[in-house]
Amino acid sequence: MASHQPLLPAGVELRRLESHDDDRGTFTEVFRSAWTGRAQPVQWNAVRSRAGVLRGVHVHPRHDDYFVLVSGRATIGLRDMRAQSPTAGTVVAIEVGGAELQAVTIPHGVAHGFHFHEPSLHFYAVTEYWSADDELGCRYDDPELGIPWSGSAVLVSARDRQAQPFATLVEELARR
């Protein structure tokens, strides 16, 4: 992993989680409400992904996500879709995984996708229950999206593979 922090979209927080090891194993706090301020989860989910899986790209007009990769390695692609954000249009791909646990807070309005390079387990929390009108997306490989994915995705859901173009997502968000 790089030693410097990339420019992240406003409100995206990348937090190194501190682990405590002893002869019994390891203890790591993965969430404290004081860490996120506004990202107060109403639901937690556990997801296993095979190597090569790409989930997304999705954007939520209302809910925030809190993501922790417990095992494996992934690239998280982010694009700030918020017109009034000081980082509007910012695109970044960050690598997470390995021995160092990290948590990523993703505010609503930031498009995101996850490419898993090896079998992985992650937990994520959401600040609102799932609703179809809060689940928008576009093709992960649309050149206009601009996310620099590392490696190649081999397993993508039918829904994500058939997602709308980035330009259509931009129009849809402008109408909201």
Q: Residue 24 maps to which CATH number? A: 2.60.120.10
In a domain, 40, yes or no: yes
* Count of domains for the chain: 1
pLDDT, position 116: 96
In a domain, 96, yes or no: yes
Q: Which residue has the higher pLDDT, 81 or 174?
A: 81
Closest Cα partner for 69 from 101, 43, 41, 111?
A: 101
What torsion, rounded to 10 degrees, do the Cα atoms 83, 87, 92, 95 define?
Answer: -120
**pTM: predicted TM-score of the whole model, two decimal places:** 0.90
Residues spanned by the domain of 165: 13-174
In a domain, 3, yes or no: no
What token pair was written down for 35? Answer: 């860490």
Residues 106-152 pLDDT 10s: 999 999 999 999 999 999 999 999 898 999 999 999 999 999 998 77
In a domain, 50, yes or no: yes
In a domain, 1, yes or no: no
In a domain, 8, yes or no: no
What is the mean predicted confidence (pLDDT) over 40-49?
A: 93
pLDDT, position 100: 84
pLDDT, position 38: 66
Closest Cα partner for 8 from 149, 98, 106?
A: 106
In a domain, 126, yes or no: yes
In a domain, 74, yes or no: yes
pLDDT, position 152: 76
Residue 54 predicted with pLDDT over 60: yes
